[in-house]
Amino acid sequence: MNGILMFSTILWVFIDRVKKMWTSLSWGKWITTGLALIAGLFIAFGYQLDLLLSIGLTEATSIGGKIFAGLAVAAGASCINEILAKVQGKSK
């Protein structure tokens, strides 16, 4: 579970740096979402992250667990972005 949180944070940093290239586009949010999803799945399969195994629902790694882990990494990056945006907005 720590790996999913750690990779979510790392993914957020990278996406936050590169999304400036397409923020002016009307569909730029979809590019950000797609990139986060692809990167999250790549990280989950590359580092053998398995959400179902980490929460104890299975005893062996599974493709479904890796897909859920990839989705969690991508969604976690978005969640971290929202939290930091609110914190930065309140500090100004």
The answer, yes or no, to whether residue 92 has pLDDT greater than 50, is no
The answer, yes or no, to whether residue 17 has pLDDT greater than 80, is yes
Residues of the domain holding 69: 2-91
Q: What is the pLDDT of residues 37-77, one digit of tens each?
A: 999 999 999 999 999 988 888 888 899 999 999 999 888 87
9: CB partners within 8 A, 6+ apart: 76, 77, 80
Q: How many domains does the chain have?
A: 1
**Model's pTM, two decimal places?**
0.78
Structure tokens at 3: 């790996």
